[in-house]
Structure 1
Amino acid sequence: MQKFKLGTATAAFQCEGHLETDGRGKCIWDDVLLNDKSIAKYNPEPASDFYKSFDVDIKLAKEYGIEVFRLSIAWSRIFPTDASTVNKKAVEQYHKMFKAMIEKGIIPNVTLHHFDSPQWFVEKGDFLSKENIDDFLVFAEFCFKEFSEIKYWSTLNEINAYSGQKNISAALPPYFRLEYGHFFKQQYNMVLAHAKTVNLFKKLKIDGEIGVPCSVSPMAPLDENNPDDVLASDRANAVSNWSFVEPITTGGYSQETLKLINSVLKNYDFIFEPQEKDLKEIHQAAKNLDWVGINYYFTTFVTKADADFDFTINSTGEKGKSKFNVPWLWKTAIRPDLKYTHWDWAIYPEGLGHVVKWISEKFNCKLPIHITENGYGDLEDMTKTPFIKDYDRIQYIQDHFDVIQKLIDEGEKIEHYYLWSHMDMFSWTNGYNKRYGLFYVDFETQKRYEKLSAYWWLEKSKQDRLDEKVDLKELEKKLGK
């Protein structure tokens, strides 16, 4: 596929395990999850044992046609106690990890922050405090200089989602619910941290490219002909998507977006006003950015909220549990003509096309695009089905591949695709209940097993176009499974 590369993705805390190995310090999740048996049979130790057993997954990547591999460096491993004390053992281990990939011809794409602020940084206020950005820049500069073998860097994964976990969905300390004032303050600081990191990267003349993975889930009107639904959609998109994608791609905030944001924030006695000094940094970063990452899983359909407050998050895979009806915001709705995952995520590949067009047309950003995450989570158990025939995952990926190929044919510069995830991993609020991987992980033995999707992926890697199909019946016949 020439310039277009197929890859898979992971995240340090979700796959590494070894939470006390080589002098690792705690991160924001440790005390929250390690003793919480309510979310899973296991805690984040051992996860997928990737910190020590990375060679197993890299070997599988090579065998199954994976060209690029997204992973993150755990900040709390490199700087376990503060912003200045470097942990050399962890540094050496990451060098080994990267070397193993590069020797097999697999290109690493390394994320600096993937939902895992060190505990010492959290105790200083995390990214809710603008003063703390300098600590992150120390970490970023160290990594850029130390790991010169890396040619693709990502700044902060899903800026909006990390801010939302802390301030809207109450999944992380300080466990706020629907506190959009705090959400915007932290998100803005993280956009600024991203901008300063990009500008630092260019100032240091690092050999490589830098981008940012943006979680973009369109909030579409349930009825496009209903003005109330359209307004609810615009407000929801401005708050949930445009508020960070716009400054990252354009270097600023339009008056339209600010007006929509502040129509929500007035309910919190808070007005969002970006500072001129920050905007200069953000504007420069938009010019310095090498590519834009899109993490896309689903589209949410919204309508005008009614008076009955209802806010429930589905973290168990029990269909129909998700509810969002906030009178001063909007209400989510189900489209009966669409399929939904166990976690109430609408399967709507067209939404990925809408996101790409937002970037290239709405925000007039002509940078290359990486689909940094896309994938299908499911409930899977090898004790019940020895060979996982994940037809739904295959169909999900192929449907999104069809959209991507169409976009490429239309002239969109989409260069990388990273499936979430490479192997099954620990999920932040689902434990080991929600599996995304091409490779099934037995978390008792740490043994990997190929799912049908892994064999399908290998066939896809040999094709010239993403919209070519693989005959699954013939594939299964060939495998004898």
Structure 2
Amino acid sequence: MRRAALSATAATPVNAVLGSTAAATTATGLAGCQPGDPADDTATASKPTTRRSFPPDFGWGAATSAYQIEGAAKEDGRGESIWDTFSHAPGRTRNGDTGDVAADHYQRYAEDLDLMRDLGLRSYRFSISWPRIQPDGTGAANQRGLDFYRRLVDGLHERGIAPMATLFHWDLPQSLQDTGGWESRDVAQRFADYAAIVFDTLGDRVPVWLTINEPKTVVQNGYLFGHHAPGRQDPDAAYLVAHHLQLAHGLAVRALRATGGKSRIGPAFNLHPCYPADDSTAAAEAARLYDGYENRLYLDSALTGSYPADVLADLGPDSRMVRAIRDGDLEIISSPIDLLAVQYYTPIYVTASGGTVRRWPTSEAEWQQIYPEGMYDVLTRVTRDYGPIPLTVTENGLPTPDELSADGTVDDDGRVTFLRDHLTAAHRAVAEGVPLESFHVWSLLDNFEWAEGYEQRWGLIYVDYPTQRRVFKRSAHWYRQVIADNAV
């Protein structure tokens, strides 16, 4: 049966089922309010009664990714990515939208840097386009591509904003896809080669590097559901891809260590707390296995050097993933990291049969249940289960029906409430000892939202696509005050 779970970045049916042939025998490791608990009523309180101060050096930030904002798809030697191919294929994206222009950040990066400064950001998390650096995914670097990111990083430093760069946010060079993509073990090594080029160019100018963004979303949306690039529906290939993505992460960590630089590095995982939908033992067992596919497959391998035994048993010894694991692979995957990037969007409630049910209101993205308490549960779970590794939240946000009013303003009150509630939950985790260093709103700008095209707006800053005019939304003004006060 197809093993699948909710994605953090695409519209997946809320009743998606994680098929399984075996179940774990312990309750889910993610603690939290169960449906019907009195504590549930406090989870979505719109406003805290007192201000909550964060640590003095807390890194307030916002996040973007290359294909979603840069545009300039054919400029300055950039090669084609799988998202260029996918978005140009009929019927793959809403309204046939593509990232050819997006928010035109490649041309307007200086203006966007000024907006970041005006917003008061202390940290900016962005991604580097692999096909902009190596058009075919291999060989010599494209100097014009490197120069763009050098200018971007220099501009951040000039404005007192710390760069946080992601090496891979889903835009695999199409040439590598043509040779097998992430199903090919060789692509993991090609990724390490690309990472080494970027490290040599930018080095310690980037204090924090993130390796792979949301490998789970590539696995689920790209290879199970097929509604992200490369658009496959092949469960056996999907988990082979998971292994190679984790291997690529480990090889990139080692590539950075080989430079002798002082930058920090870690992966970016989207984590979904998995709760039993009822009090039955069967639901607890199903939620435990679901959690294995959603979270432990990635956390355990990167942080403990082993894959979850229940997931491997469920996949079976003949699966392509299990057969692909070589001696030494998990040692590479678990190469010591300096921090873990956590991305939280939604909880998952798992039934005794392994299906899912909805417990909370959803956003415009139907897969996203709004449950701020899940932020607390995710952060405290990582610290409890894996020790006091430094954490950064690199994505948290939601789409709202934003419109530019006649007076030139955008009132996105729903986003303000969402962020306030999730930051309150994060603060509670910090107060209880979770080593959370920074928080990045998704997203800085309205952008190309993958299969949803330009239908959904996730940004703090409104983008009028016909003119590329930028406008601070109400949430941007609110967030600027949060940063200034260092409190929510």
* TM-score tier after normalising by the smaller chain length: 0.7 to 0.9
1:28 aligns with 2:82: yes
Change (3 A) 1:292 1:346: same
SS of residue paired to 2:322:
coil
Q: Name the counterpart of 1:310.
A: none
How far off its partner does 1:356 sit? 1.6
Q: Name the counterpart of 2:356.
A: 332
How many Å separate the matches in 1 of 2:306 and 2:471? 46
Q: Provide, for residues 166-202 of structure 1, a one-character-per-residue CA deviation record: whole Å limited to 9, x for no partner.
A: 211112455333x432221111111111011112211
SS of residue paired to 2:272:
coil
Q: 2:310 aligns with which of 259, 271, 274?
A: 259
Q: Name the counterpart of 2:377.
A: 354
Q: Name the counterpart of 1:219.
A: 274
Q: 1:131 aligns with which of 186, 192, 198?
A: 186
SS of residue paired to 1:169:
coil
Q: 1:201 aligns with which of 228, 247, 256?
A: 256
Instruction: Give yes or no for contact 1:359–1:365 (8 Å, CA) kept in 2.
Output: yes
How far off its partner does 1:36 sit? 4.0
1:281 aligns with 2:303: no
Q: Name the counterpart of 2:389.
A: 367
How many Å separate the matches in 1 of 2:464 and 2:337? 39
SS of residue paired to 1:214:
strand
Instruction: Give yes or no for contact 2:297–2:311 (8 Å, CA) kept in 1.
Output: no
- Paired letter, 1:350: E
SS of residue paired to 1:276:
coil
Q: 1:118 aligns with which of 149, 173, 185?
A: 173
Aligned positions, number: 430
Which has the bigger relative contact order, CA under 8 A and spacing at least 6? Answer: 2
Instruction: Give yes or no for contact 2:280–2:352 (8 Å, CA) kept in 1.
Output: no
Q: Provide, for residues 28-50 of structure 1, a one-character-per-residue CA deviation record: whole Å limited to 9, x for no partner.
A: 01122135475137421210011
Instruction: Give yes or no for contact 1:18–1:45 (8 Å, CA) kept in 2.
Output: yes
How many Å separate the matches in 1 of 2:66 and 2:75? 14
Instruction: Give yes or no for contact 1:65–1:458 (8 Å, CA) kept in 2.
Output: yes
Instruction: Give yes or no for contact 2:83–2:230 (8 Å, CA) kept in 1.
Output: no
Instruction: Give yes or no for contact 1:234–1:260 (8 Å, CA) kept in 2.
Output: no
How many Å separate the matches in 1 of 2:432 and 2:182? 39
How many Å separate the matches in 2 of 1:414 and 1:366? 10
Instruction: Give yes or no for contact 1:369–1:414 (8 Å, CA) kept in 2.
Output: yes
How many Å separate the matches in 2 of 1:79 and 1:113? 13
Instruction: Give yes or no for contact 1:262–1:272 (8 Å, CA) kept in 2.
Output: no
Structure 1 residue ranges without an equivalent (≥5): 306-329, 469-481
Matches of residues 78-157 of structure 1 in structure 2 within 5 Å? 78-148=133-203, 149-157=205-213
Q: Provide, for residues 292-321 of structure 1, a one-character-per-residue CA deviation record: whole Å limited to 9, x for no partner.
A: 00011111212133xxxxxxxxxxxxxxxx
How many Å separate the matches in 2 of 1:402 and 1:441? 28
Q: Provide, for residues 331-365 of structure 1, a one-character-per-residue CA deviation record: whole Å limited to 9, x for no partner.
A: 11121xx2211222111111122222232112x23
How many Å separate the matches in 2 of 1:374 and 1:133? 28
Q: Name the counterpart of 2:350.
A: 302
How far off its partner does 1:231 sit? 1.5
How far off its partner does 1:260 sit? 3.9
How many Å separate the matches in 2 of 1:99 and 1:269? 46
Q: Provide, for residues 256-297 of structure 1, a one-character-per-residue CA deviation record: whole Å limited to 9, x for no partner.
A: x3224422x2498667364331122223x1xx2010000111
How far off its partner does 1:146 sit? 0.7
Instruction: Give yes or no for contact 1:261–1:272 (8 Å, CA) kept in 2.
Output: yes
Instruction: Give yes or no for contact 1:238–1:261 (8 Å, CA) kept in 2.
Output: no
How far off its partner does 1:162 sit? 1.1
How far off its partner does 1:68 sit? 0.3
SS of residue paired to 2:244:
helix
Change (3 A) 1:359 1:275: farther
SS of residue paired to 2:437:
strand
SS of residue paired to 1:19:
coil
Q: Provide, for residues 120-170 of structure 1, a one-character-per-residue CA deviation record: whole Å limited to 9, x for no partner.
A: 111111121112222111100010011122121110100111122221111
1:293 aligns with 2:344: no
How many Å separate the matches in 2 of 1:206 and 1:23? 28
SS of residue paired to 1:154:
strand
Structure 2 residue ranges without an equivalent (≥5): 1-54
1:248 aligns with 2:272: no
Mean Cα displacement is larger for which, 96-105 or 8-17? 96-105
How many Å separate the matches in 1 of 2:318 and 2:394? 33
Q: 1:18 aligns with which of 62, 72, 80?
A: 72
Q: Name the counterpart of 1:418.
A: 440
1:167 aligns with 2:223: yes
